[in-house]
Amino acid sequence: MHKIKSENIKDGILTIKTEKTKDILTIPLNDYAMEIIDRHTKKNIIVLPHVISNQKMNDYLKDLGELAGFDDLVEQHRYSGSKKVTTKTEKYNLLTTHAARRTFVTVALEKGFRPEVVMKMTGHKNYATFNGT
């Protein structure tokens, strides 16, 4: 978010370069997103709130999930070598920015976005990688 500037948004489209691959992403913004941007625009300059680290954001997401009552126990399966290890944890402990990214992909596909459009918005180049988002 700290890289988003006014010049990155034109005609309801956000254009931004990714950190990891340096690719240019073109993301159409819906009315809700544009309303938020308009609220944070002063004299044609977007004034974003202070950006926090990904780790801190994930901590806050877990706190919000706990407050929202996402406390159902869920099983997690991991492997240690060839041994399957199963643990149980509250659902709020699984909330992360990456979970949000995966949820965005799922919801966009459910709303009828074509996979290649969602791939372009998320920066995926390979369908196999995208399918395992």
Q: What is the pLDDT of residue 122?
A: 87
Is residue 15 classed as helix, strand or coil in its secondary structure?
Answer: strand
Mean predicted confidence (pLDDT) in 9-36: 88
Distance CA 6, CA 82 (A): 51
Is 28 domain-assigned?
Answer: yes
Q: What are the beta bridge partners of residue 121?
A: none
Tokens 């699984």 correspond to 94
Q: Tell me: the pLDDT tens digits for 45-54?
A: 878 777 888 8
User: Residue 14 falls within a domain, yes or no?
Assistant: yes
- Domain residue limits at 4: 1-51
94 in a structural domain: no
- Distance in angstroms (rounded) separating the CA atoms of residues 52 and 124: 25
What is the residue-averaged pLDDT of the chain?
Answer: 89
Please state the domain count of the chain.
Answer: 1
Classify residue 7: in a domain, yes or no: yes
- Report yes or no: 99 and 110 within 8 Å, Cβ to Cβ: no
Whether the model pTM is above 0.75: no
